[in-house]
């Protein structure tokens, strides 16, 4: 059990460093995760956004990634519009916190599913309320760059691997739903899928629409790099139609 002084010191340090990022509830969740051994404290921000903040954190001799969904600024109505059509969350109440908690749980479950099926993504370690802890992709020099920031040396081969990963996702009944150069990492010239909280099962009536949008976005991006693929052909490959 943590002493009152230890807890007070942790929260004071956290507030001093990130006082404009965390609410009291999230601070308490982070403290519990630290006491459970999933991390030893936040280090530096990887991405700060309206919906979620992503930090690197120390854990033993290495690092983990901590993704924190913001309770105050998340567009939970948009979140609800996506998640309510997912049969896995059919009983979800239209309650702001419950929706955000479900969004974090969905990201963890989707990452776990991808990892178990050999699709490159951060390994999920745990989730609690609005926080997900996952594998750090990168090295001591920094977190792996997104494809938009680090173009692949061979765009055609890279895109072929992305399509193969999308096909494998579809074969296990999942569609990413928000796939673009912003949420694919380029780590050692291999694609790594991230930001899978929006990923839904293929039984979702909107899944096919999301898949076609993903394909359009990727074809448009890789065409600029000289890797031109027909969206209809890619769709047929991914769905085996």
Residues acting as catalytic residues: 178, 195
How does DSSP classify residue 50?
S
Angle between helix 155-171 and helix 207-224 axes, rounded to 10 deg: 170
Half-sphere exposure at residue 162, Cβ-oriented, CA atoms within 13 angstroms = 32
SS3 146: strand
Q: What is the distance between the alpha carbons of residues 119 and 104, in angstroms, rounded to a whole number? A: 20
- Helix, strand, coil % (nearest 5) of the chain? 45, 20, 35
Rg for the chain, CA atoms, rounded: 19
| Cβ atoms < 10 Å from Cβ of 12 | 10
Residue 162 parent element (H or E): helix 155-171
Half-sphere exposure at residue 107, Cβ-oriented, CA atoms within 13 angstroms = 30
113: which residues sit within 8 A by CB, 6+ positions away? 172, 174
Pair of tokens at residue 137: 């992709």
Q: What is the distance between the alpha carbons of residues 109 and 102, in angstroms, rounded to a whole number? A: 10
Query: Sign of the CA dihedral 119, 125, 130, 131?
Result: negative
């Amino acid at each position: 059990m943590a002493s009152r002084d230890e807890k007070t010191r942790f929260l004071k340090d956290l507030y001093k460093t990130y006082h404009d990022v965390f609410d009291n509830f999230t601070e308490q969740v982070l403290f519990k995760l630290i006491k459970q051994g999933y991390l030893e404290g936040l280090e530096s921000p990887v991405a700060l956004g309206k919906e979620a903040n992503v930090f690197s954190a120390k854990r033993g001799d290495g690092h983990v990634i901590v993704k924190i969904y913001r309770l105050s600024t998340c567009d939970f109505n948009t979140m609800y519009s996506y998640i309510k059509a997912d049969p896995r969350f059919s009983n979800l109440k239209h309650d702001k916190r419950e929706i955000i908690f479900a969004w974090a749980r969905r990201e963890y479950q989707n990452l776990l599913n991808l990892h178990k099926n050999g699709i490159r993504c951060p390994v999920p370690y745990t989730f609690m309320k609005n926080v997900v802890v996952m594998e750090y992709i990168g090295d001591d020099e920094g977190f792996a760059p997104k494809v938009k920031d680090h173009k692949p040396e061979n765009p055609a081969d890279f895109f072929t691997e992305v399509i193969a990963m999308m096909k494998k996702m579809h074969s296990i009944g999942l569609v990413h739903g928000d796939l673009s150069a912003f949420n694919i990492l380029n780590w050692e010239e291999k694609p790594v899928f991230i930001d899978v909280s929006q990923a839904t099962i293929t039984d979702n009536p909107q899944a096919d629409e999301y898949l076609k949008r993903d394909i359009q976005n990727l074809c448009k991006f890789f065409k600029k790099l000289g890797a031109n693929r027909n969206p209809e052909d890619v769709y047929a490959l991914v769905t085996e139609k």
